[in-house]
């Protein structure tokens, strides 16, 4: 099965990569091919950076690289157009679901 990229345009222009996933048992026999990994392409900037607890490389420069985020606070105005599944640019390894 091929990888698929789908664009959902109901609320916002957000692209998702949809990858087939095969689950095997301990003897490497196929149990099911009914699963998929859904990965949002890109990010959606909706954090309230002042209210969030973000640690930057350069403590005096909020535009420097993010080291960690202890608390995410979203800006309600920015969330109005958010897709149902997204990542924020400050930490792309985390996924957020409505």
Cα separation, 73 vs 50, in Å, equals: 9
Report percent pLDDT > 70 for the chain: 83
Report percent pLDDT > 90 for the chain: 61
- What is the rounded average pLDDT of the residues 54-63? 79
Domain boundaries, the chain: 4-92
pLDDT tens digits for 31-40? 999 999 989 9
Model pLDDT, residue 4: 56
User: Smallest Cα–Cα separation from 87: which of 28, 26, 46?
Assistant: 46
Q: Average pLDDT, whole number, for the chain?
A: 85
Model pLDDT, residue 16: 85
Model pLDDT, residue 98: 83
pLDDT tens digits for 1-45? 555 555 554 444 568 888 999 999 999 999 999 999 989 999 999
The partner residues of 71 in beta bridges, in order of sequence, read 53
């Amino acid at each position: 099965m091929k990888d698929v990229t789908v664009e959902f345009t109901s609320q916002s222009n957000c692209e998702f990569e949809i990858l087939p996933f095969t689950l095997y048992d301990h003897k490497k026999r196929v149990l099911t091919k009914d699963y998929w990994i859904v990965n949002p392409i890109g990010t959606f900037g909706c954090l309230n950076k002042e209210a969030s607890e973000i640690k930057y490389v350069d403590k005096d420069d909020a535009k420097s690289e993010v080291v960690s985020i202890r608390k995410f606070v979203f800006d309600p105005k920015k969330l109005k157009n958010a897709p149902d599944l997204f990542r924020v640019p400050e930490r792309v390894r985390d996924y957020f679901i409505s």
